[in-house]
Chains A and B, each alone.
Chain A
Amino acid sequence: MSKIIKVLLNLALYSGILYIGIIILSKVFDIGTKRFLVFDEKKKKVASIGFLIFTGLIPVFLSKNTYALRTSILVLIYIVLALSLNFVLGFAGQLSMGHAAFYAVGAYTTAILTVNYNVPFWISLIFSALVAAIFGLLLGIPTLRLKGDYLAITTIGFGEILRLILINWTSFTRGPAGIPGIPSPTIFGYTINTNTGYFYILYILALITIFISHRLLNSRLGRGLIAIKDDEVAAEAMGINPTFLKILAFVLGAAIAGIVGGIFASFIHYVNPDNFTYMESVVILTMVVLGGVGSIPGVIVGATVLAILPEALRGISTYRYAIYGILLAMMMIVRPQGIISMASLKGGGGNENSRSQSSN
């Protein structure tokens, strides 16, 4: 009985802290976004380059602290994963809850190709992207007719089926035992097996993903995607073919998740089906929702916060997922548009919720 009371008290405490945390983070970023938006182009550029240099030097700052450096590698992995889901959820507005499946496909492709067939890492990484993209296509096509929650459940099903295949097809995937001994990449004869090396590979991948997201968002295709998210009927009336764009979003998101999966496999040198459960998909989803669906800086912040949170909560790690659950529900009530909403980036203020109602 006393245990139950302790658990309840702890949960109440953590919920309170979360609530305050969300409010503070939101306020900080609201003010920050407003400040940043009034900068002129030159100041914006200086600020962005300064930020890039600072984050790029993280391995130098953390060279003594292996644990912190590994955490920042995880942060980068999740930033890329969350941004890749953002193509599907944030741009095209499709609630996909099987995103870890693409990550798994990428990781297993690299694992199997490098370990069983001695394919060089970089080539297998290309295959990771391709195979994951094919899976994106396979999932994208049957789900085109589905919306919202139906789509969500079907994508969960897709993820679960894939996990069952990884477990049961032992001759190919070694089943629950997983695949050990995945090699490190080499560049110009140098083997990259340090944390710093992986940090920079992932850092470059994250930059490329941000770059692609940004270019896409501010283009014809991006406008088409957002139009589908906002109102599919109106988008069709504007001559937009939703089929093509939705599949494009799925394929692009899957390919990028596949690449980061391949790098992850090499980073930990071992994959097994437990790395890619449904919870992993939920974690990625929560990152996007927390940060702000569709908002590139928001998703980066969301991924960073949620990737660091479990490390910061190491002492109470048993509460980790319970806190994730509360966080997701609380966000929907307190700040559904996310910490840095898409609207706030356009100077539209934080209150996106009241408006988006009309579109549903």
Chain B
Amino acid sequence: MKILEANQVTKAFGGLVAVNNVDFHINEGEIVSLIGPNGAGKTTFFNVVTGIYPPTSGEVRFLGETIKKSRPSEITKLGIGRTFQNIRLFSSMTVLENVMVGQYCRTTSNLLATILKTPKLIREEKEVEKKVMGILDFLELTHLKDEIAVSLPYGYQRRVEVARALATDPTLLLLDEPAAGMNTGEKIEMTNLIKKIRDQGYTILVIEHDMKLVMGISDRIYVLEYGNKIAEGLPKEIQNNEKVIAAYLGKGGNE
């Protein structure tokens, strides 16, 4: 089943065509990567998928429904969770609190219930905590739950971001350059982590520069250059695709 589907999506800013007529889909349970050199239109495509920019033409369908231009919060509610390439954790919160925020959109307690601490609220808070502790356990973060999240080492911060995204109960998880700024050891951990998450039944879209990571985890890969899709296929096919090699090596290799 196709979780996400983009049909002939074009996004232009004035005269500049950032994404040109791209077809794209992700099947349930897949890890799909979107790669391309800097300025290839990856981020724009990402923003079109998440409804921040409406496409100039074409359409994006998530679980069969067309995504219209909407607030990011609405997209999250539909079931698309995301991380950020430059980590954006909540700086005054502990790890536990950061991840609990992810459950915000799945809970409903209002102000009155909050002040009166109704039984429903207590139940809801307990459920949230249980769920979040499950996620922390799964990502091996439990021992850090009371630390201020931004005081952790970089690799852990990335992990907390993933945990937070998982806490929004996503059907599709978008990882925006999950290995940016990581050392080799941390990259290997991240690779294993992404696979582990997929094995839990999540569908994952990765945007990444790091070829090794992408080749290691992806079921399928899409390559963008100057807004055009220049290749798609299995990692092996991409590795041997001349256009891709030219795009990367011809312009100074990957970063």
Contacts and interface: CB of A to CB of B under 8 A. Distances in A.
Contact of B168 (A215, A229, A239, A352): A239
B41 interface: no
Given A230-B92, A346-B148, 14 more contacts: A219-B125, A220-B103, A220-B104, A220-B114, A226-B90, A237-B76, A237-B81, A238-B168, A239-B105, A252-B111, A346-B146, A355-B148, A355-B151, A358-B91
Contact of A359 (B91, B101, B168): B91
Contacts of B93: 223, 226-227, 230
A359 B102 CA distance: 18
A322 interface: no
A15 B114 CA distance: 43
B101 A241 contact: no
A352 B168 CA distance: 27
A242 B104 CA distance: 12
A230 B73 CA distance: 16
B2 to A, nearest CB: 23
A227 B109 contact: no
Interface of B: 71-73, 76-77, 81-82, 84, 88-94, 97, 100-107, 109-111, 114-115, 117, 121, 124-125, 128, 146, 148, 150-151, 164-165, 168
Interface in A56-101: none
Given A220-B124, A238-B164, A352-B92, A215 B117 contact: yes
Contacts of B165: 237
Q: How large is the interface on A (under 10, 10 to 19, 20 to 34, 35 or more residues)?
A: 35 or more
Interface of A: 211-212, 215-216, 219-224, 226-227, 229-231, 233-242, 248, 252, 294, 342-343, 346-348, 352, 355-356, 358-359
A212 B116 CA distance: 9
Contacts of B92: 226, 229-230, 294, 342-343, 352, 356
A357 to B, nearest CB: 9
Given A219-B109, A355-B91, A239 B82 contact: no
A355 B150 CA distance: 7
A47 B150 CA distance: 32
